[in-house]
C-alpha cells in the first residue's frame, strides 16, 4: 500500500490549535503517513497542499460559554485555494463546548472543493490523547475507503 500524504492547515490564536496540528502531523507520521507541510490558513503552503492526498484543517472555537460557539475564521476557510478532488479532515480545539463548530467547518471547506471524510473536536486539555486518537481514526477510515 502506498503511504498517504497529508498537509495540515491551522488557525491559532494562543498556539493551542497550532500545537494540535503539529501533534496530528507527528501522530500521522507514526501511522506511516508522509507530511507535506504544516502551515497557517493565513499563509498556506500551496506546494504542500498540491502534494497531499488529505488536507487536515483546524481552527479554534470561539463564542460565549455554552451558546454561540462557532469556528474562528470561517471566511478564511472558505477562501482557501480550490482543492477539488482531495479529501479533507477537520478539527477544532475548544475549552468548554464546541457546539456545532465541526459541521460549520465542514461546510466551509467543502466550498473549496474538498470532500470531508472525518472530523474531531479536541478539548484543549486533552491535546495529546485526542490528536493520537484522531490520527488512528483517520488511518483506519481511509484504509477502508
Across 47-71, average pLDDT: 89
Task: Supply the pLDDT for residue 68.
Answer: 72
Res 73 pLDDT > 70:
yes
Q: How far apart are the C-alpha atoms of 115 and 87, rounded to whole Å? A: 5
Q: Domain containing 24 — which CATH number?
A: 3.40.50.360
* pLDDT tier at 2, thresholds 50, 70, 90: low
Task: State how far the alpha carbon of 23 is from the alpha carbons of 35, 104, 126, in Å.
Answer: 12, 23, 12
How high is the mean pLDDT of the chain?
Answer: 94
Q: How many domains does the chain have?
A: 1
**Positive or negative: CA dihedral 91, 93, 99, 104:** negative
- Quote the domain boundaries for residue 59: 5-144
* pLDDT tier at 145, thresholds 50, 70, 90: confident
Q: Would you tell me how many other CB atoms lie within 10 Å of the CB of residue 136? A: 14
Task: Quick: pLDDT tens for 78-134.
Answer: 999 999 999 999 999 999 889 999 999 999 999 999 999 999 999 999 999 999 999
The model's pTM: 0.95
Question: Quick one: cell of 15?
Answer: 498556539
Q: What angle do CA 122, 126, 131 make, to 5 degrees?
A: 60
* pLDDT tier at 67, thresholds 50, 70, 90: low
Amino acid at each position: 500500500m502506498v503511504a498517504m500524504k497529508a498537509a495540515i492547515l491551522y488557525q491559532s490564536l494562543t498556539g493551542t490549535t497550532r500545537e494540535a496540528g503539529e501533534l496530528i502531523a507527528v501522530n500521522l507520521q507514526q501511522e506511516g503517513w508522509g507530511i507535506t507541510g504544516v502551515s497557517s490558513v493565513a499563509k498556506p503552503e500551496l506546494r504542500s497542499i498540491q502534494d497531499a492526498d488529505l488536507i487536515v484543517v483546524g481552527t479554534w472555537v470561539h463564542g460565549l460559554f455554552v451558546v454561540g460557539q462557532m469556528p474562528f475564521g470561517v471566511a478564511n476557510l472558505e477562501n482557501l485555494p480550490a482543492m477539488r478532488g482531495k479529501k479533507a479532515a477537520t478539527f477544532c480545539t475548544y475549552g468548554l463546548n464546541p457546539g456545532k463548530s465541526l459541521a460549520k467547518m465542514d461546510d466551509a471547506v467543502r466550498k473549496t472543493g474538498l470532500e470531508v471524510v472525518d472530523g474531531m473536536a479536541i478539548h484543549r486539555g486533552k491535546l495529546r490523547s485526542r490528536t493520537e486518537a484522531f490520527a488512528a481514526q483517520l488511518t483506519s477510515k481511509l484504509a477502508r475507503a
